[in-house]
Amino acid sequence: EPEVTQTPSHQVTQMGQEVILRCVPISNHLYFYWYRQILGQKVEFLVSFYNNEISEKSEIFDDQFSVERPDGSNFTLKIRSTKLEDSAMYFCASAMGGETQYFGPGTRLLVL
């Protein structure tokens, strides 16, 4: 069964450093998303991406965040200058365009 994959599974970084989180969505999907989950809290929407552009973003997704689909398979989330409060689990999701978004296993980001 096709699945969304994410790398790395864990990332530790120093405050102020740039991080890139990578995702490989399901191959024939057209819609891509990033969500995050701070430990013990609910899953929060960050950004959606379709047709090579951002279709919606939340207030969390400020100028420090960017997304890119550099080739036909990868979808990346970049945090330019990480802050302590960026520590969270980051989930990538993809959808064909219908109802179901399929989530990856997540990247646990720890900012020290």
Please list every residue from 35 through 54 that binds other proteins, using CB under 8 A: 35, 41-45, 48, 50
Q: How far is the CB of 64 from other proteins (least distance, A)?
A: 20
Query: Quick one: CA dihedral 82, 58, 52, 26, positive or negative?
Result: positive
Note whether 55 binds other proteins by CB under 8 A. yes
Where do contacts with other proteins occur on this chain (CB under 8 A)?
Answer: 4, 30-31, 33, 35, 41-45, 48, 50, 55-56, 58, 91, 93, 95, 97-106
